[in-house]
Amino acid sequence: MNQLTPLTIGRFRIEQGIGQGGMGIVYRAYDTVLQRPVALKLLGAHLNNDEQARSRFRREAATLMRLKHSNIALVYDFGEHEGRPYIAMEWVEGRTLKNILQEEGRLPLARSLHIITQLARALDYAHAHGVVHRDVKPANILIDENNHATLVDFGVAWWDEAPSLTTTGSIVGTPLYMAPEQLLGQPVDGRADLYSLAAIFYEMLAGHPPFGGDDASAAAVIQQQIYLPPPPLDEQNPAIPRQAAAAVEKALSKLPDDRFARGEDFVRALHRRAEPTPAPGRRKRVIFSLAMAGLALILLVGLGLRRLTALGDVAPTAPPAPVFSPTPRPAPTATPAAEAPLIPVDQPDGGEWPGIHGDARQFRYQESGFWPLAAAPRWHYRAGTALTQPLVAADGQIYLTQAEQVQILDWATGTPAENAPSLGADIAAPLTLGYNESLQLYAATADNQLYAFDGYDLRLLWRLGADALDEEKIIHQAVGEDGVLVVATDSGRIMSVDATGDVRFTLTLDDNAELTQPPSITPAGIYGVTDSATLIAIDANTGAIVWQAPLNAPPTTPALPMEAYGVAAVGDESGMVQAQAILSGETRWQRQLDGSVTGLAYNEDELVVSTDAGQLYALSPENGEIRWRRTASGSLLAPIITLDQVLALSQDGVLNVYASEDGAPWPPGPIHLGVHPAWPPMLLGGWLVVQDQTSVWAFGPQERGP
């Protein structure tokens, strides 16, 4: 690797060479002004006099500066050093997917699906902004220790404002992963990127790309890409469900019109469940009363609905008919006997849900789907003391506070763990969870202490005392995707703490304003709402306030950053939802709704809003237009959204489920849980977990039919 002399480029101090390609050299460097690591890409000296190469290099910087997405590497700066252009980009810890595949070979289905879903969303976002990557391959994908995927190297990207820089008829990219039209030098659009994504997914599961081989020449690979179908994926890996293999085949179609138009459509197809094939000579006999005939028809049609769950977790059978309770049932005082056999759950699947506002970015979004519930709860846990904080859950465990104690409940049975630790003072803020090298649980107490525990055995990892917190009480906390904890105190301070307990920065808000909701965290920024009805954006690395924007009324929801649309949305007590530009803080749109806003949820297609007037809205994240509206019963808690469904639970314990696309009821009619929840529910691996002031209830799917 060549070394630069001197070992500085502007304000960037070179630390080591990382890689070298046809366009230039990539270094790990350190920004001496903003004090953060960066990836510094310097145009190769041999291309310095090549105006086309310089134009392409500048175009990469311009392209990436347009894109602000958690799965796309950010560009911080662009300039020249001694006449050679450079790009300073976000430094992403991790290995390339190419290295992972070389070292590990075939990857597990769940891990592959998790990675490919992130990349599909990143590509959909880039395509929506007029950018086609054109070189999607494993070497341009970085995977960190938490399987967070980042797409890099837009050096050959095409975008709709400068198409002349890439000439039709030229081939730019990597043949193993290129679409046929790209290999033929024809015009390309986002469907070419999705073809490449499908080829990568194929390699992750089969252990090799769909075309070519170790000894295949580039010419042979090109011929196969253009003329031959890929070997069926489920023949290369029999563990792959047929419907997933069929989705890959469609994504690898030779003609763009035969493929998926969007990455989201590809992901939906990968999740789709196959309908069962009836055994020959057998017929199911189902008898319904005349009064239930209409409902029966709807339920039979509903058998074709997808359950969005991790592929391969369950056998491909149709969902059961839901069990409805026509009138509210009083909450039982002990764990009731099951009214029907229940689906066995050895290792509940549902991932991480760090707080009542949703996942690490607080979108209240879950990819796992919702099954109709069994009539009786799976289990019921009654606490010995009043429950004053909402629970959190991850990896088959549920965590809740009981005065001074942190209690762990087994997800499948509700059985409490023994020897719950006592912290010596009441827990003052909601618990939160984060992943670094392992699961960590954070608890803040009324005597101004902050504890970090191992999430699996509650072993104490570290503690920040009252001196470190300046005798201030923590009132809110949240964890970002990088595992960094952000806490807010009752005197208007915001602190960023890494996974080892080291304070990264401390910020005191003007006039000692306090956050009224937990902060929301993205790789680029921290967003919070204050008691002075202000939305603030903070640099996640330095703690500097980037902008402040006034709100129309006191906020009632956390800020919800929607990076794909470049806005952060907030709901307030007057019923207004407003969206501010992430980069500048200017108001993009406002929408007045009926009732005070009680919650927001987002899945990159819809922004779902609930109100205390029992109204549920789906808004366009782009402009705030109302796509559909439904009226439920009672004051609604914050909703939950999946790819296909929206769950709305009222304070009276009435659950309504709607199709996220058009708001159609699913299943038809409300479900009365017989519980009066104190906090919004959690959807975890198809289970619904509900908490009131004294108890926790876990509702599971009903037994499948024969």
- pLDDT on residue 20: 62
pLDDT at 362 over 90: no
Residue type, 683: L
- Taking the CA atoms of residue 253, residue 255, residue 260 and residue 266 in that order, the dihedral angle to the nearest 10 degrees is 20
Asked if residue 78 and residue 34 are part of one domain, the reply reads yes
Q: Which domain-ending residue is among 238, 271, 304?
A: 271
Has residue 437 been placed in a domain?
A: no
- pLDDT on residue 542: 87
Considering only residues 500 and 556, tell me which one the structure prediction assigns the higher pLDDT: 556
Put simply, whether the predicted model's pTM sits higher than 0.85 gets the answer: no
Asked if residue 105 and residue 86 are part of one domain, the reply reads no
pLDDT at 588 over 60: yes
Q: What is the rounded CA–CA span in Å between residue 276 and residue 60? A: 48
Asked if residue 160 and residue 73 are part of one domain, the reply reads no
Asked if residue 114 and residue 62 are part of one domain, the reply reads no
Contacts 24+ apart (CB under 8 A), 42-47: 42/4, 42/9, 42/81, 42/84, 42/85, 42/86, 43/84, 43/85, 43/86, 44/20, 45/84, 47/23
User: Which listed residue (135, 349, 612, 644) is catalytic?
Assistant: 135
Residue written as token pair 């009365």: 672
Question: Mean pLDDT, to the nearest integer, of 224-245?
Answer: 88
- pLDDT on residue 547: 92
- pLDDT on residue 12: 87
Question: Mean pLDDT, to the nearest integer, of 107-129?
Answer: 89
572 in Cβ contact with 551 (< 8 Å): yes
Has residue 393 been placed in a domain?
A: no
Has residue 512 been placed in a domain?
A: no
Q: Which two tokens stand for residue 38?
A: 């960066």
Q: What is the rounded CA–CA span in Å between residue 262 and residue 605? A: 12
CATH number at residue 212: 1.10.510.10
CATH number at residue 63: 3.30.200.20
Asked if residue 180 and residue 51 are part of one domain, the reply reads no
Q: What is the rounded CA–CA span in Å between residue 640 and residue 366? A: 7
**Taken in order 362, 367, 368, 371, is the CA torsion positive or negative?**
positive
Helix (H) or strand (E) holding 503: strand 503-508
Number of helices (H), then strands (E), belonging to the chain: the values are: 10, 43
Number of structural domains, the chain?
2
Q: Which domain-ending residue is among 271, 293, 309?
A: 271
- pLDDT on residue 550: 95
pLDDT at 636 over 90: yes
Please give the sequence-ordered ranges of beta strands (E in DSSP) within 314-422, or none if there are none.
352-353, 379-382, 392-394, 397-402, 405-410
Considering only residues 281 and 145, tell me which one the structure prediction assigns the higher pLDDT: 145
pLDDT at 424 over 80: yes
Has residue 659 been placed in a domain?
A: no
Out of 71-80, 237-246, 533-542, give the one with best mean pLDDT. Answer: 533-542
**Catalytic site includes residue 652:** no
Asked if residue 193 and residue 258 are part of one domain, the reply reads yes
Q: Per residue in 445-491, pLDDT tens?
A: 999 999 999 888 888 999 998 888 888 899 999 998 778 899 999 98
Asked if residue 249 and residue 103 are part of one domain, the reply reads yes
Range of 189's domain?
95-271
Average pLDDT, the chain: 79
Residue whose C-alpha is closest to residue 200's, from 273, 129, 96: 96
Q: Could you give the C-alpha distances from 237 to 90, 228, 241, 441, in angstroms and in order?
A: 36, 20, 9, 38
Considering only residues 99 and 338, tell me which one the structure prediction assigns the higher pLDDT: 99
Asked if residue 194 and residue 262 are part of one domain, the reply reads yes
Question: Mean pLDDT, to the nearest integer, of 249-266?
Answer: 93
Q: Which two tokens stand for residue 394?
A: 């991850």
- pLDDT on residue 372: 75
Asked if residue 143 and residue 181 are part of one domain, the reply reads yes
- pLDDT on residue 327: 30
**Which residues, in sequence order, are CB contacts of 256 under 8 Å at separation 6+?**
179, 181, 189, 191, 192
| pLDDT grade for 541, boundaries at 50, 70 and 90 | confident
Has residue 410 been placed in a domain?
A: no
- pLDDT on residue 347: 43
Q: Which domain-ending residue is among 252, 271, 290?
A: 271
**Which residues, in sequence order, are CB contacts of 62 under 8 Å at separation 6+?**
78, 162
Has residue 145 been placed in a domain?
A: yes
Has residue 461 been placed in a domain?
A: no
Asked if residue 264 and residue 121 are part of one domain, the reply reads yes
- pLDDT on residue 621: 92
> 31 forms bridges with which residues in the sheet?
12, 36
Asked if residue 159 and residue 33 are part of one domain, the reply reads no
Q: What is the rounded CA–CA span in Å between residue 472 and residue 26? A: 44
Overall size of the chain counted in residues: 706
Residue written as token pair 């003072």: 425
Q: What is the rounded CA–CA span in Å between residue 31 and residue 64? A: 19
Helix (H) or strand (E) holding 570: strand 567-571
Asked if residue 255 and residue 180 are part of one domain, the reply reads yes
Considering only residues 321 and 520, tell me which one the structure prediction assigns the higher pLDDT: 520
Has residue 384 been placed in a domain?
A: no
